[in-house]
Structure 1
Amino acid sequence: MHEQPLQRFFKSRREQPVFQWERFQQREVLVIDHPLCQAVFSRQGAQLLHFQPRGQKPWLWCAAKWPQVGAIRGGVPVCWPWYGRHPSENAWPSHGWARLIDWKLLESSSDEEGVSLHWRLQLCDWQVDLQARLGESMDLRLSTEHQDSEPCQLSHALHAYWRIGDVGEIALSGLEGAEGYDQLNRQACRQEGELRVEGGCQRVFQHEGELHLKDHAWQRELCIDTGDSADTVVWHPGHRPLLGVSWSEVMGFVCVEAASGGTDSLCLAPGERAHLSLQARASA
C-alpha cells in the first residue's frame, strides 16, 4: 500500500509554521501543519490534496506521480464550470478550467479549532470562491457568482477521492432507496441496501445530505455530507487502467462527490449565485 506522497512534508520533528509554501512535482503547494490536522493545497485549482486529522490515517487519496502539466489526480478537485465532458465542445478539457488554473489565496488564518482558507478565481464574467475549514473535520464550500449581463449555463462538482484501506472491503450506507443513473450500464438504477463498488462504479444519485463510508480494512467510518447538492456521484474505475496510476494505488480510493447541474445544467441569471458544499467527519 503506497504512502500518500504529500506526507513527506510532515516527517520532520522540528516545529514548523502553520502555513508554508513549498514546491512539489513542479507545483506550488501550501503545507498546513496545525495541532489538530495536517493538510496540503495546490495553488493550481485551489485543490485540497491531503487532509489528515491528528492521530488518524489520511482522509484523502492522491496519486504518487503527477503529470508535468494538466490536472492533478486526487484530493478534492474543483470541477467548474462544467464537470464531465463539455456538453458541446469535445476539445475542451473534462471537468472544466478551474482545476487547471492557479487560484489566488485571499486569506488564511488559524485558531484553536483549526484553519480557515479563502481561495478565489476570477475568470471572464465569473467569480468563484472556495472557503475551507479544516480541523478535526473537513468543510469545503464553493460559491459561483455570474457577473455577465446575459444568463449562462453551469455545472460543478467537488470531486473527492477518499483514502481507504481496500476498495474491496468498503460499503456506503445512506443511499438506500435513492434513484439514479448507472453510467457504466447506461440505465436508470435504484440503490438497494449498502453500495459496494468492487469491479467499478459510475453512478449519479439524486441524493443530498449524509452518507457513511464504512472502511473495514482500516476499521473506520467517515460521515460524508454532500449538503443540498442535486446529485451525489460515486465513482471507481474498477479494472480499467488510469494513466499514470498503479493498480495498487487504484485499490486505495473511492470517489464520493457533491455535484450539481450535471443532468440539467443550472441556468444562472446575471448576478445570481450557485453554491456547493462537501463536509466530512469521523463517525463516533
Structure 2
Amino acid sequence: MSTESLQVSESNGLTFLEVDNHLGSAKISLFGGHVLSFIPKKDGQERLWVSPHAYLNGERPIRGGIPVCWPWFSDDHGKAKGELPAHGFLRTQVWQLTSSSEDETGTHITLAPSFTRAEGFEHDCAVTLSITVGNALTVSLITENTGVVPFIYNCALHSYFHVDHIQAVRLEGVTGDYKDKLDDWAVKPTPENYTFTGETDRIHMSPVEKASIVVNDKPFTDVGSKGHDSLVVWNPWQSAASISDMDPFGYKHMLCVESSITQGKTLQPSESHAMVQTITPVLR
C-alpha cells in the first residue's frame, strides 16, 4: 500500500499510523483502531484530547482520542456490571490496516478488527472502520450482518475533544430530552444555554446531526453525526481524581461528545449500517 502521506511507527509494543498531508495530520493506534490526534493545517490546533496518563502499551484501553465502543455501550450487555468489558471488545483488539489511499480530499484508511465474535455477542458479522483525514476528520463505523439471522447491537465513537477550559465551553445545536445517568436516568430537557459547571453524564435521545463546541464564545469544533440515534455528552469533573489513567485536573481540558447508537440497531442478514462522525474545525 503506497500512500506517501501515511507512515507506520512502533512504540511500547504498539503500532501507530501517522498521517501527514497538505490538509491535516492524524495519529491512529492499531491497538483499538483508535484515533489519537487530528490537527488541521489551517489553524494547527489539536482537536482531540488524550490523557497524559493514558496506557499506550496495550495493557488497558486508551483514555482519550476516539475509542470505538461496540457491540454494546457502557455496561449494557445484559449481564452483571463488570462481567464483560465496558463498551465492548473492539477497543482492546489489534486492528489490521486493510487499505489506504490518498487524493485531493485527503488520506483514506480502512481498518478491520481481528475478530467480531466473543462472549456477549456471538453473531456472524464484519466490522470496518473507515477514516478520512482532510480538512475534516471523518470516521465511519460500519457493521455488516454476514449471518443468516438478525441481530441487535449498540455502538459509539466515544470522542474526547480538546478544549482550553471546560468552564469556558458552550455546546450548541443539541435539543430534545436527555437521560441523566447521575440522577438515576431521569429524563430532562436539554438546557438552552448548555454550559458545564459540574460532572456531566447524559444520553441525548434525539439524533442531533450537528453539535458545535464553542470556546470563549468562539466556535471551535463542529461534531457531525449520521446513522446514530443519540448523542452522549460526558465530563467527569472532580471524579477524574478517581480514574487511574486521568490527571485529577484533566477534566478541565476535555469534553466527550459521542455519536452513538444506544437504543438498539437491528441488522437483517446481508444488511449493513454505517454510523459516521465528522469532526470539522471552525477557524477562529
TM-score when normalising by structure 2 = 0.87
The answer for the alignment partner of 1:184 in structure 2 is 182
For residue 10 of structure 2, what is the aligned residue in structure 1? 23
Q: Deviation string for 1:24-81 (max 9, x for gaps)? A: 3432111112122111001012111111011321000012233341201111111011
> Matched residues in 1 for 2:79 and 2:205: separation?
26
Deviations 1:170-211 (A, max 9, x none): 0001114x1121111120011131311231111111222011
Distance 1:249 1:70 in 2: 18
Partner of 2:121: none
Q: CA deviation at 1:220?
A: 4.5
Q: 8 Å contact 1:175–1:194 — kept in the other structure?
A: no
Q: Does the 8 A contact of 1:82 with 1:95 survive in 2?
A: yes
Can you list the C-alpha shifts for 1:142-195, whole angstroms capped at 9, x where unaligned?
A: 11012222222200011100011011110001114x112111112001113131
Match of 2:158 in 1: 159
CA distance in 2, matches of 1:25, 1:63: 17
2-structure distance, mates of 1:112, 1:155: 34
Letter in 1 for 2:150: P
Instruction: State the 4+ residue runs in structure 1 displaced beyond 3 angstroms.
Output: none
5+ unaligned residues in a row in structure 2: which ranges? Answer: 118-123
The 3-state SS of whatever aligns with 1:251 is helix
Q: For residue 271 of structure 1, give the secondary structure of its aligned residue in structure 2.
A: coil
Pick from 45, 54, 78: which aligns with 1:66?
A: 54
Q: Displacement of 1:97 after TM fit?
A: 0.7
1:211 partner letter = A
Unmatched segments (≥5 aa) in structure 1: 1-16
Give the paired residue count.
264
Does the alignment pair 1:108 with 2:100?
yes
Q: Find the residue that maps to 1:168 and give its secondary structure.
A: helix
Q: In percent, how many aligned pairs have the same letter?
A: 23
Partner of 2:89: 97
**Pairs within 5 Å for 1:91-240:** 91-121=83-113, 122-124=115-117, 125-176=124-175, 178-186=176-184, 187-207=186-206, 208-216=208-216, 219-240=218-239
Secondary structure in 2 matching 1:63: coil
**Aligned-partner Cα distance in 2 for 1:228–1:222:** 20
Cα distance, 1:220–1:266 mapped onto 2, change above 3 Å = closer
In structure 1, C-alpha distance between the alignment counterparts of 2:166 and 2:39, rounded to whole Å: 19
- Quote the Cα distance in structure 1 between the aligned partners of 2:198 and 2:191: 17
Q: Which one-letter code corresponds to 1:223 in the other structure?
A: D
| Alpha-carbon contact 1:86-1:92 (below 8 Å) kept | no
Aligned 8 A contact 2:170 2:194 in 1: yes
CA shift, 1:119, in A, is: 1.0
2:45 maps to 1:47 = no
Q: Which amino acid aligns with 1:77?
A: P
**Letter aligned with residue 116 of structure 2:** L
1:253-276 CA-to-partner distances (Å, cap 9, x unmatched) read 10001101x2x3223222222221
Aligned pair in 2 of structure 1 residues 201, 247: CA closer, same or farther (>3 Å)?
Answer: same
Q: Distance in 1 between matches of 2:6 and 2:75?
A: 35
